[in-house]
Structure 1
Amino acid sequence: MTDIEYLDQAEALLRRIELACDRINDTSDADIDNQRVGGMITLTFPNGSQIIVNLQKPLQEIWMAARAGGFHYRYDGGRWMDTKDQGEFWDHLRRFASEQAGMTLDFSS
């Protein structure tokens, strides 16, 4: 993957997170505060816990830090997959955010 292709896919992922948070906040009581600074998004939940998603441009990866731990994802041509074969980014984000919010959250389009 070229650097430009990586940035296109990574920026699309960050934008999708932002839009999903806005939709979740409009349709539920989740009250997720999402702040984006450059290539990093911080999701803050009412209980004070956070999930941080950021770009790792030199490695062409996306990194996520949550209460469950730290995870690295690489684009496989169709999905962002954990580099240790532990799953897919969107499945992890849904699960970790739901745990931290104390309610089921849906980040799908």
Structure 2
Amino acid sequence: MMDEARYNQLVAAVFKRMLSAADAIDPDILEAESTGDMLTLTAPSREKCIVNTQRAVKQIWVAGRGQGIHFSYDDATGTWRDDKGRGLELFQFVAGVVRDISEADFVYPS
């Protein structure tokens, strides 16, 4: 399992990238709020996508599309993958949830 410092570094990069994507969208279409270990993306309908750290197990948890998915970092690919082996990738999953709730394209900076 990765150490705390590495996990914190990876999580900070995830949150920064997601906030940058959210900042590119009109806040009337998608509102982003980051508080500590949680990022909440809210559509005008009040539907939400919540991204939260799970420090004890070194994962990121995402609530959206009526489900909660845990993502673990895969060193081999440098990506966050769902822990059930369904082939879900964190950034793609969040972009899909944002599209579902707001009809906005959630485009990450390069």
- Shared topology, TM-score over 0.5? yes
Greater share of helix residues, 1 or 2? Answer: 1
Identity %: 29
Task: Output the CA distance in 1 between the equivalents of 2:25 and 2:80.
Answer: 22
Partner-residue secondary structure (3-state), 2:8: helix
Does the 8 Å contact 1:14/1:41 carry over to 2?
yes
The Cα of 1:11 is off from its aligned counterpart by 1.1
Residues 40 and 49, structure 2, Cα contact 8 Å, conserved in 1: yes
Q: How far did residue 48 of structure 1 move? A: 0.8
C-alpha separation in 2, matches of 1:57 and 1:64: 14
2: CA distance, partners of 1:69 / 1:60:
19
Aligned residue identity for 1:90: F
Offset at residue 53 of structure 1 (A): 0.4
Contact 1:94 1:105 in 2 (8 A): yes
Give the unaligned 5+ runs of structure 1.
Answer: none
Distance in 2 of aligned mates of 1:90 and 1:11: 14
- The residue aligned with 1:41 is 39
- TM-score normalised by length of structure 2: 0.88
Q: In the TM superposition, what are the counterparts of 1:85-96 in structure 2 within 5 Å?
A: 85-86=85-86, 87-96=88-97
Superposed CA offset, 1:52-107 (max 9, x none) = 10111111000000133110000102001000112100111111110111x24133
